[in-house]
Chain A
Amino acid sequence: MSEEILKLVKLTKKFGGLTAVKDFSMTLNKGELLGLIGPNGAGKTTTFNLISGNLAVSSGNIIYQNNDITDLRPDQVADIGIARTFQNIRLMSGMTVLENMQLAFHIWNDYNILDTIFRTKKFKIKEKKYLEEINETLKHFNILDYKNDKVDDLPPGIQRKADITRAILLKPDLILLDEPTAGMNPSETDELVEIIKWINKDLKISTILVEHDMRVIMNICSRIIVMENGDIIAEGSPENVQADKKVIEAYLGKSYQV
């Protein structure tokens, strides 16, 4: 059970004189749901960007399933099974929900260019299979009705769910969720919590969750890492982290109570 899926070794990222992530080391076990919290500017999103290849690492290593993936490009990272969402909802504007979802099948290279041009049986079977998978996942997320709507016209709650759906459709082994409940109302947040649980428990996708909503983090994460100024200041179970003096001082505040 406690097999490592991701390991960060002394990860450092410098932007000029600013060190955003400093000698950051952590491990994530297979199937774990890890919460990454900390004040703004602590380096949480930078860490995500380093893992997903959007930023170049200054020093240190990223080990994924025993392979060094430090220097991979974002598309290669997605290809080996690490999906991510972004802090702000990112969907292809001007396209329908379905078209957005179809892009997820890009990495499952099942038919070639000739199949495409001549619309062979293989092409049709694969496309139909993809469509079925998309329908199924959208149905699970309760957004099947919006399938043919342009993403720009949808309310933020639906957009957020679509955003997570497209990451799930990549069929990753590890998903990086960057503030999935930001800007959501309480009922949408509850729904997203259920979705995150489902992703982690039923789909068995290891998850790292960056979140500012402590109710969410404390509820669903099995382990929490608290960052400040690019470094770990506390690590452990939700109860331990809540009681940690340094964490209360740096992030939670003295009045915080669950």
Chain B
Amino acid sequence: MKLTENHSDNFFKNRKKYTLVILFIFFILLFILSNSLSGYYYRILLLFGINVILTLSLNITNGYANIFSLGHGGLMLAGGYTTALLTLPVEFKANTLSLPLWLEQAQVPFIFSIILAGIVAMIVGLTILLPAFRLKGHYFILASLGINIIMINIAENVRPITNGATGLRGAPPYTNIWWIFGIAIFLIYLIWTLLTARFGRAIKAIGKDQGLAEAMGVNSAKYKAYAFMISSFFTGVGGALWTHLILTISPSSFDLLVVFQIIMMLVIGGVSSISGSILGAAIITAILEILQPL
């Protein structure tokens, strides 16, 4: 018993040291890459980073908690539109949209706009999906698909705010390599800390055997909602980062195809695994770019 405990203590200490070293090397690598890569490859690197964020957040629900959702495209739209409305130039908003004055004049710093994007995505996800939590299996998947359809319809039809099918153009190019990978690393850390503690254990237990988890005192409805909240927050953030990279958002930006691409990343890398999500994101991002000319 003593032996194993000492071993685990050492392991944790060493792991901390190694993690810091790897992080340091990683940021130096990012610095070199950001200065040496040409425009096209740099952009692919950024897309990869965003895909990592999206895949990791999808992993929380579809992987660990085993609530298979196809609705993450709608959440990305919610995040994208939120950040666009908060940061677009005032003249554009005044000329093409008819917004309330406070929103028209709003020029929010990037950090707050992505946090708000995450919060709006979280609220959207919860309002639409909380009633759907009563459904199980295939039925929940179909209900989650509804988020996409509802959000795309809202984006197309609420013209005064979303500019209809044309979408919003000219979002400021705030997204850069540091934001993306900073958030990605924070998300990795967050998922890792949660999974190795009470919160994540409860979520993993629900994913494996909900009945047993409940017998062990886990309030499954509450923890599913928590998992979905964290997931949709970071999906919204991912959508916001994407918007500030592509500089435009329209109802067709994040359709079902995008959702399936992210699910592909998740499945190829391995469900319920942090490293798997990163690997899957890398593989699919590369494949999509290689296949683009065909």
A contact residues vs B (CB 8 Å cutoff): 52, 54, 73-76, 78-79, 83-84, 86, 90-95, 99, 102-107, 109, 111, 113, 116-117, 119, 123, 127, 131, 135, 139, 144, 147, 166, 170
- The contact string, 1 if C-beta is below 8 Å from chain A, for chain B 195-230, is 001110110110011011111111110000000000
Name the distance in Å between B2's Cβ and chain A's nearest Cβ.
10
Contact B217 A170 (CB under 8 A): yes
Contact B1 A139 (CB under 8 A): yes
Name the distance in Å between A165's Cβ and chain B's nearest Cβ.
12
Query: Given A103-B202, A144-B1, are A90 and B217 neighbors across the interface (CB < 8 Å)?
Result: no
Which of B199, B201, B214 interacts with A113 by CB under 8 Å?
B199
B6 within 8 A of A: no
Name the distance in Å between A150's Cβ and chain B's nearest Cβ.
12
Residues of B within 8 A of A119 (CB): 193
Contact A54 B201 (CB under 8 A): no
Name the distance in Å between A129's Cβ and chain B's nearest Cβ.
12
Which of A86, A106, A123, A144 interacts with B217 by CB under 8 Å?
A106
Residues of B within 8 A of A170 (CB): 216-217
Residues of A within 8 A of B194 (CB): 116-117
Q: Which are the 3 A-B pairs with shortest beta-carbon distances? A: A78-B217, A107-B217, A74-B214
Query: Given A79-B217, A106-B218, are A116 and B198 neighbors across the interface (CB < 8 Å)?
Result: yes
Contact A95 B1 (CB under 8 A): no
Contact B199 A93 (CB under 8 A): no
Residues of A within 8 A of B5 (CB): 131, 135
Contact A93 B217 (CB under 8 A): no
Residues of B within 8 A of A90 (CB): 209, 211-212, 215
Contact B1 A92 (CB under 8 A): no
Contact A95 B198 (CB under 8 A): no
Name the distance in Å between B153's Cβ and chain A's nearest Cβ.
35
Name the distance in Å between B227's Cβ and chain A's nearest Cβ.
13
Which of A73, A92, A99, A102 interacts with B214 by CB under 8 Å?
A73
Contact A92 B202 (CB under 8 A): no
Name the distance in Å between B230's Cβ and chain A's nearest Cβ.
10
Residues of A within 8 A of B201 (CB): 99, 102-103, 106
Considering the chains assembled together, what is the distance between the CA atoms of A76 and B222 in angstroms?
A: 12
Contact B198 A93 (CB under 8 A): no
The residue in B193, B212, B217, B218 that gathers the most chain A C-beta atoms within 10 A of its C-beta is B217
Query: Given A103-B201, A103-B202, A131-B5, are A84 and B218 neighbors across the interface (CB < 8 Å)?
Result: no
The residue in A54, A78, A109 that gathers the most chain B C-beta atoms within 10 A of its C-beta is A78
Residues of A within 8 A of B199 (CB): 113, 116
B190 within 8 A of A: yes
Q: Whose C-beta in chain B lies nearest to the C-beta of A130? A: B198
Q: Whose C-beta in chain A lies nearest to the C-beta of B4? A: A147
Residues of B within 8 A of A111 (CB): 197-198
Residues of B within 8 A of A105 (CB): 198
Residues of B within 8 A of A76 (CB): 219
18 more A-B residue pairs beyond the given contacts A92-B209, A106-B216, A166-B216, with a C-beta to C-beta distance below 8 A: A54-B215, A74-B214, A75-B214, A75-B219, A78-B215, A86-B212, A90-B215, A91-B212, A92-B208, A93-B208, A95-B204, A103-B218, A107-B216, A111-B198, A123-B197, A135-B1, A139-B1, A144-B1
Considering the chains assembled together, what is the distance between the CA atoms of A83 and B212 in angstroms?
A: 11
Query: Given A116-B193, A144-B1, are A84 and B202 neighbors across the interface (CB < 8 Å)?
Result: no
Considering the chains assembled together, what is the distance between the CA atoms of A89 and B91 in angstroms?
A: 66
Considering the chains assembled together, what is the distance between the CA atoms of A147 and B3 in angstroms?
A: 13
Name the distance in Å between A119's Cβ and chain B's nearest Cβ.
7
Contact A75 B212 (CB under 8 A): no
Contact B211 A54 (CB under 8 A): yes
Q: Whose C-beta in chain A lies nearest to the C-beta of B213? A: A103
Residues of A within 8 A of B218 (CB): 75, 103, 106
Contact A73 B219 (CB under 8 A): yes
Please list 9 pairs of residues, one from A and one from B, whose beta carbons are closer than 8 Å in the complex, sorted by A's number. Answer: A74-B214, A76-B219, A90-B209, A90-B211, A92-B212, A94-B208, A99-B201, A106-B205, A109-B198
Considering the chains assembled together, what is the distance between the CA atoms of A117 and B200 in angstroms?
A: 11
Residues of A within 8 A of B209 (CB): 90, 92-93
Considering the chains assembled together, what is the distance between the CA atoms of A166 and B5 in angstroms?
A: 20
Contact B197 A116 (CB under 8 A): yes
Residues of A within 8 A of B193 (CB): 116-117, 119
Considering the chains assembled together, what is the distance between the CA atoms of A81 and B259 in angstroms?
A: 43
Q: Whose C-beta in chain B lies nearest to the C-beta of A116? A: B197
Considering the chains assembled together, what is the distance between the CA atoms of A1 and B51 in angstroms?
A: 63
